[in-house]
């Protein structure tokens, strides 16, 4: 289920254009429409709405790619653990991360430690925050 806030883009576009102030003061429909002039407010509304719709589509596409990537990682790590004995040691898990998931030994230990210390609740929230902040690789450099 999407957590994206549902917005009426037409209403939001109108609010944005209205915030611009009196830039449309000199348009008079009686006078200007007959001269084949467009209402600048209507043009601005259409432009702002189109821009907002583009942002919405871009974010939806990025979220979809992110969701697909996360699903792939879940499958990958589930398969990695299924190949290990029923109660693997930390060393076995780190070895599997190094061999099968291209982690360095330090990176494997860190990922395992994060999972053990924080679990899915905290890490899901950290993932969502990192995603919203557009942080692909953190400052630690793993």
How many Cα neighbours within 13 Å face the side chain of 31? 3
pLDDT at 142: 63
Q: What is the pLDDT of residue 122?
A: 92
- Identify whether residues 60 and 104 lie together within a single domain: no
For residue 124, being part of any structural domain is answered with yes
Return d(Cα 39, Cα 25) in angstroms, integer.
11
- Count up the domains in the chain and report the number: 2
Same domain (yes/no): 63, 92: no
Residues 38, 41, 43, 49, Cα dihedral to 10°: -160
pLDDT value, residue 1: 36
Q: Does residue 2 fall inside a structural domain?
A: no
Q: Which of 17, 25, 74 is nearest to 49 (CA)?
A: 17
Residues 62 and 90 in one domain: no
Which domain range does residue 17 map to? 9-82
Q: Are residues 23 and 77 in the same domain?
A: yes
pTM greater than the 0.85 cutoff:
no
Please give the structure tokens belonging to residue 88.
Answer: 């693997």
Both 65 and 20 in one domain: the answer is yes
Whether 131 and 109 map to the same domain: the answer is: yes
Single out the residue in 82, 102, 133 at which a domain terminates: 82
Mean pLDDT by 10 residues, the chain (142 residues): 56 80 68 70 82 81 72 89 94 95 94 94 88 79 66
């Amino acid at each position: 289920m999407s957590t994206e806030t549902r917005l009426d883009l037409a209403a939001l576009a109108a609010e944005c254009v209205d915030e611009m102030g009196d830039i449309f003061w000199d348009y008079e429909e009686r006078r200007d429409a007959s001269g084949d002039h467009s209402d600048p407010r209507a043009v601005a509304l259409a432009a702002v709405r189109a821009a907002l719709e583009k942002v919405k589509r871009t974010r939806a596409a990025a979220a979809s790619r992110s969701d697909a990537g996360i699903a792939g990682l879940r499958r990958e790590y589930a398969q990695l653990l299924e190949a290990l004995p029923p109660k693997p040691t930390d060393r076995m898990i780190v070895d599997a991360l190094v061999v099968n998931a291209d982690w360095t030994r330090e990176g494997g230990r860190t990922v395992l430690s994060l999972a053990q210390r924080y679990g899915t609740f905290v890490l899901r929230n950290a993932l969502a925050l990192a995603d919203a902040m557009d942080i692909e690789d953190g400052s630690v450099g793993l």
